Structure 1
Amino acid sequence: MLSEDIKNQLKKEFEKLIEPVELVFHRDNSELSKEIEDLLREISSVSEKIYYRENSIIECYSYPCIAVKTIEKDFGIRFMGKPDGGEFDPFIKTILMVSRNDYDLTERTVELIEEIDKQVDIKIFITKGCGWCPPTMLKIFSFALVSDFITATAIDCYAFQELAIKYNVAAVPKVVINDRVEFIGLKEENEILGHIFGAVS
Structure 2
Amino acid sequence: MVASNGAKLYYFGIPSGYEFRSLLDDIVDVSKNTTRLPEEVRAQIRGIGDPVHIKVFVTPTCPYCPRAVRTAHQFALENPNIRADMIEALEFPELAQQYNVMAVPKVVINESTEFEGALPENVFAESVVSALS
Same fold per TM (> 0.5)? Answer: yes
Unmatched segments (≥5 aa) in structure 1 = 1-67
SS at match of 1:92: helix
Identity of aligned residues (%): 37
Residue 118, structure 1, aligned to residue 39, structure 2: no
Asked if 1:185 is matched to 2:117, the reply is yes
The 3-state SS of whatever aligns with 2:28 is helix
Aligned counterparts of 2:38 and 2:27: Cα–Cα separation in 1:
20
RMSD of aligned residue pairs (Cα, Å): 1.2
Which amino acid is the alignment partner of residue 69 of structure 1? V
1:161-172 maps to which residues of 2 (within 5 A)?
161-172=93-104
Task: Give the equivalent residue in structure 2 for 1:134.
Answer: 66
The separation in 1 between residues aligned to 2:122 and 2:16, in whole angstroms, is: 30
- Of stretches 145-154 and 81-90 in structure 1, the one that deviates more from structure 2 is 81-90
* Number of residue equivalences: 133
The one-letter code sitting in structure 1 at the alignment partner of 2:96 is A
Give me the whole-angstrom Cα distance separating, in 2, the residues matched to 1:108 and 1:89.
Answer: 25
CA shift digits 1:91-111 (9 cap, x unpaired) = 111111111123121111111
- Residues 5 and 80 in structure 2, CA contact (< 8 A), matched pair in contact too: no
Q: Deviations over 1:50-81 (max 9, x none)?
A: xxxxxxxxxxxxxxxxxx124x4431210000
Please, what TM-score do these two structures have when normalized by structure 1? 0.63
1:1-201 matches, within 5 Å, as 68-70=1-3, 72-201=4-133
Structure 1 runs of 4+ aligned residues shifted over 4 Å read none
Which of the pair has more CA radius of gyration? 1
CA distance in 1 between counterparts of 2:5 and 2:121 reads 24
Equivalent residue of 1:78, what SS?
strand
| 2-structure distance, mates of 1:123, 1:73 | 21
